[in-house]
A and B are shown apart, each in its own frame.
Chain A
Amino acid sequence: MISPAGVRWDEVTVGDELPPLVFEVTRSTLARDVVGTRDLYPIHHDPVFAQANGARDIFLNTMWYQGLIGRYANEWGGYESFVRRLRVRMNAHGCPGDTLTVHGTVAGKSRDEAGRTLVELDVRIANGDQADAVVSSLTLELY
C-alpha cells in the first residue's frame, strides 16, 4: 500500500534493497492487462495465436510491466515521487500460473541541474522460472 511519505532522499544509500512485491498472474490478470493497457494484439489474449508464435501461452505485455514497476517505485518513494526515466527489457514471458516477484536495489543517487533529488533503481522481476524475466532501470525523483 502506498503512503504519502516515502523514503527520504538524504536517508537513501546506494545498495539499499526495496521490499519485494509478489504478484500472482492468472488469466484474469491478462484480461485486465488488455483492458488497462488497451493492447489488443492477440499474443496477449489468444493462447492459440501465442503458441503458434513461439510463446508457451499468452503473456503480459511491456505496458503492464511498466505499470507494475512504476507502482513498485512509487510505493517506496511515496505518492509524490515521480518516475523520470524508465527502461524495461523483456527476457522471458510472464504467463498465467506464474508468480512474479519484483526486487529492487538502489543503484545511484544524484541531484540534477534543476536541483531535483533523484535515485537510480535497478528492478528485476522473477517469473518462477527465470530470475531476470524482466529487467528494468529507472530514475525516480523523490520529493
Chain B
Amino acid sequence: MDEKYAGLDEKLRPFIGDKAARIWSAWPLEASAVRAYCSAVEDANPVYWDEQVAARSRFGRLIAPPHALMSLNIDAWWLPPYLRDEVDRQQAANPEMRARAVLAEYGMRTVTVVDREEEYLEPFGPGDGRMGRDRWIASISPVKRTKVGTGVFMTYEIEYYTEREERLVARARNVTLIYDGSASPR
C-alpha cells in the first residue's frame, strides 16, 4: 500500500491485546428492549414474550434472544451531559477507541462489521441487571483496498458478564472494516 500509510502499523501495535476496563451496558436487560428487538425481525418465540409460557419452559423465566447480545450492549444514543462525560472519558481511554482515533488521522472513519461470531454459554434476560463487557483488539490487518474504500480489518474479542451474580454468559469475536469512505469508488 502507498506511502501515505507508512508507520501506521507501529502506531497501532500498542493497542493490540490491551484489555479495556469493563464497560457496562447503558441500560439493564429489560423486557421492553427484548420485545423491540424481536419486533424488528418478527420473532414470536413465547420465551421472549409470554411470562407464563416462559416460566413453564426449561428456561424458567423470560429470556432475551441470546443473539440480541450486541444490540443489548449498544451505547446510549443520547445522555445528559452530567452522565455523558463519564462515558466519554471511559471510551476515549479504551484501546479500541484510541486505535480508531489513529485510523481517523489517516482518513479511515467509516466502520462496518464484516464477520461476527458469538458463543452463548448460558441464557440471560430481564432481571440480570446490566451487562458488563471486557474487550480487547486481537489483530489489525495491513491496509487493504476494498470495494467500498481503503481500510484495515480490525478483529476484537469480547466477554460478556451479567451484573447479577457476575456470570460469564457469552463471548464474541468481531471483524470490522474501518475504511476511508470519502474516497469511495462509487
CB distance from A57 to the nearest CB of B (A): 12
Main secondary structure of the interface of B (DSSP, over half): mixed
B116 adjacent to A62 (CB under 8 Å): yes
B46: which A residues are within 8 A, CB to CB? 2, 79
A35: which B residues are within 8 A, CB to CB? 36, 39-40
CB distance from A19 to the nearest CB of B (A): 16
Number of residues of chain B lying within 8 A (CB) of chain A: 45
A14 located at the interface, meaning its Cβ lies under 8 Å from any Cβ of chain B in the complex = no
B9 located at the interface, meaning its Cβ lies under 8 Å from any Cβ of chain A in the complex = no
CB distance from B33 to the nearest CB of A (A): 8
Nearest B residue to A91, CB-CB: B114
Of B41, B120, B123, which is within 8 A of A36 by CB?
B41
A133 located at the interface, meaning its Cβ lies under 8 Å from any Cβ of chain B in the complex = no
Stretch of B65-73, B79-87, B132-140, B154-162 at the chain-chain interface: B65-73
A66 adjacent to B114 (CB under 8 Å): no
B184 located at the interface, meaning its Cβ lies under 8 Å from any Cβ of chain A in the complex = yes
Chain B, residues 54-79, CB within 8 Å of chain A (1/0): the string is: 00011100000111101100100100
Given contacts A41-B111, A82-B66, contact A1 B117 (CB under 8 A): no
Nearest B residue to A88, CB-CB: B116
A86 to B68 CA separation, bound complex (whole angstroms): 11
Chain B, residues 75-102, CB within 8 Å of chain A (1/0): the string is: 0010000000000000000000000000
B43: which A residues are within 8 A, CB to CB? 67, 70-71, 74
B181: which A residues are within 8 A, CB to CB? 52-54
A66: which B residues are within 8 A, CB to CB? 67-68, 70, 116, 118
List 19 additional contacts besides A74-B43, A79-B57, A82-B66; criterion CB under 8 Å: A1-B44, A2-B44, A33-B40, A37-B40, A51-B186, A53-B110, A54-B184, A61-B113, A67-B43, A67-B71, A68-B41, A79-B45, A82-B120, A84-B120, A86-B67, A87-B116, A87-B118, A88-B117, A90-B112
Using CB atoms and an 8 Å cutoff, list the residues of chain B in contact with chain A: 33, 36-47, 53, 57-59, 65-68, 70-71, 74, 77, 110-120, 123, 147-149, 181-182, 184-186
Name 27 A/B residue pairs within 8 A (Cβ), A-sorted: A1-B44, A2-B46, A23-B41, A32-B39, A32-B40, A33-B40, A36-B37, A37-B70, A39-B74, A53-B181, A53-B184, A54-B148, A66-B116, A67-B38, A68-B41, A70-B43, A70-B65, A71-B38, A71-B41, A80-B47, A80-B59, A84-B119, A85-B117, A87-B117, A88-B115, A88-B116, A90-B114
